[in-house]
Amino acid sequence: MADSEEMQANALKGQISIRRARAEDLDQVIALDAKVTGLAKPEYWQDIFERYATRRLDERFFLVAEGSESDDGTILGFIIGEVRGWEFGSAPCGWVFAFSVDPGTRLRGVGESLFDAISDRFRGAGIQTMRTMVARDNRLHMAFFRSEGMVAGPYIQLEKSLDD
């Protein structure tokens, strides 16, 4: 049964449009990322835009969520992913490596709209599995991806401090 938050999110989802990122969106993407992470990285985002929004577009997806006219067409969130094959012996799968939603618009269904849109793009590219990586202490993202049906995959990420 949908609770009131869920019904509100569903109603608002219709007012969001998802499309590929354009060069003129970049300043808003940089600002949104800086707002969420506390660190502006213009050169990084310029590079990401060139790699994921201008080349091999059949398997690279840099999508933005654009608000309705009442939001002045503001970029409310973005998601970036690509098809990667044979890393660590894995058959091709869709990797989501960047995802952000404006904190002021959470619970409006922006994240779910972006997630659904990139899932559809991956399906369209013939991909059946989508993966991502989340910091263990990032409860917000972890809970979001779980609610979308993501579960622990067949790989475990390992690391080693090189100072040891």
Partner 1 sequence: MQKSSRLAIFALLELASDPERQVSVSDIGEKYGVSAHHLAKVMHTLGRAGLVRSIRGVGGGYSFVGNARRVTLLDIIGLFEDISPACAPRDPDAPTAEKALCQVEAEIDDISKATLGSITISTMLKNIRRIEERSARALQEETAG
Helix H or strand E encompassing 98 = strand 93-101
CA distance 32 to 102: 6
> Contact between 34 and partner 1 (CB under 8 A)?
no
Q: Regarding beta strands 130-132 and 93-101, do their DSSP bridges make them parallel or antiparallel, or are they unpaired? A: parallel
**CA-CA-CA-CA torsion sign (148, 106, 122, 41):** negative
Q: Minimal distance in Å, beta carbon 136 to partner 1?
A: 4
> Contact between 58 and partner 1 (CB under 8 A)?
no
CA distance 98 to 23: 17
Q: Interacting stretch for partner 1, rule CB under 8 A, among 1-9, 18-26, 44-52, 81-89? A: 1-9
Helix H or strand E encompassing 65 = strand 60-66
> Contact between 123 and partner 1 (CB under 8 A)?
no
> Contact between 22 and partner 1 (CB under 8 A)?
no
- 3-class DSSP state of 140: helix
Scan residues 140-159 and list those touching partner 1 (CB under 8 A).
Answer: 142-143, 146-147, 149, 152
> Contact between 160 and partner 1 (CB under 8 A)?
no
> Contact between 11 and partner 1 (CB under 8 A)?
no
Cβ atoms of residues 65 and 75 within 8 Å: yes
> Contact between 164 and partner 1 (CB under 8 A)?
no
Nearer to partner 1, 3 or 43 (CB): 3
What is the contact surface with partner 1 in residues (CB under 8 A)? 1, 3, 5-6, 136-137, 139, 142-143, 146-147, 149, 152
